[in-house]
């Protein structure tokens, strides 16, 4: 677990810290279960076609869809988003194993590219905001120096429901590993 924490801090922190340098509050669009917790990012449950049109009109440049391939609805979301001039990125999260460093790194890379290269906002969604809320809790804990309880609370404010127990356990296990690793003492001061 220590190598996962070390990698997470090294690879994810830079993107989020850099994104904060170009921070702007993403506009709320009145999408079902929408949350604006971190700058430049709006998270939500499944948007409608009209929601995507509103997002494009309000400076959103990228949509990240966390729904698995088996959850995709009856209309072509990618086609709609690209027709509106936005970038579509699918990062499917279909199970607990998908809450890993690769997913966090991929999301952070897309956020970084959107904020700095496209100069716009990012909309990240799943079907009901549960998965994105869980990811926001991980982001808060690892990259924003929040305690386990603060991170879980933020995750719940971002839509996390049924994943709370799993994320809480993951964070407590990570905290124990982090606190017992002398090599990491003071490491968070480099990026936070």
Nearest-angstrom CA–CA distance, 42 and 54: 13
Architecture of 2-130 per CATH?
A: Alpha-Beta Complex (3.90)
Q: What is the pLDDT of residue 17?
A: 42
- Torsion, Cα 78 164 136 179, to 10 degrees, reads -140
- Which residues, given as ranges, of the chain have pLDDT below 50? 1-21, 181-192
Alpha helices (runs of H) in the chain, residue ranges in sequence order: 2-21, 49-57, 77-83, 101-113, 130-143, 148-157, 164-179, 188-191
Q: Which residue ranges make up each domain of the chain?
A: 2-130
Q: What is the pLDDT of residue 97?
A: 87
Transcribe 66-113 into DSSP letters.
Answer: ---GGG--SS-HHHHHHHTT-EEEE----SGGGSSHHHHHHHHHHHHH
- The residues that bridge with 90 in the sheet, in sequence order, are 65
Tens digit of pLDDT for each residue in 40-81? 888 888 999 999 999 999 999 999 999 988 887 778 899 999
């Amino acid at each position: 677990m220590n190598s996962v924490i070390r990698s997470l801090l090294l690879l994810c922190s830079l993107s989020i810290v850099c994104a904060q340098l170009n921070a702007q509050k993403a506009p709320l669009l009145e999408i079902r279960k929408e949350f604006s917790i971190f700058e430049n990012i709006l998270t939500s449950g499944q948007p409608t076609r009209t929601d995507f049109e509103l997002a494009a009109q309000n400076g959103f440049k990228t949509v990240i869809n966390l729904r698995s391939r088996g959850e995709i609805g009856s209309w072509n979301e990618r086609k709609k988003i690209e027709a509106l001039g936005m970038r579509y990125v699918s990062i499917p999260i279909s199970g607990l194993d998908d809450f890993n460093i690769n997913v966090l790194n991929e999301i952070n890379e897309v956020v970084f590219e959107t904020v700095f290269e496209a100069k716009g906002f990012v909309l990240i969604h799943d079907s009901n905001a549960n998965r994105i809320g869980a990811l926001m809790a991980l982001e808060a804990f690892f990259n924003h120096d929040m305690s386990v309880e603060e991170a879980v609370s933020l995750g719940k404010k971002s839509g996390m429901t049924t994943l709370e127990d799993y994320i809480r356990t993951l964070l407590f296990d990570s905290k124990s590993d982090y606190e017992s690793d002398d090599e990491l003492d003071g490491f968070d001061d480099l990026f936070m």
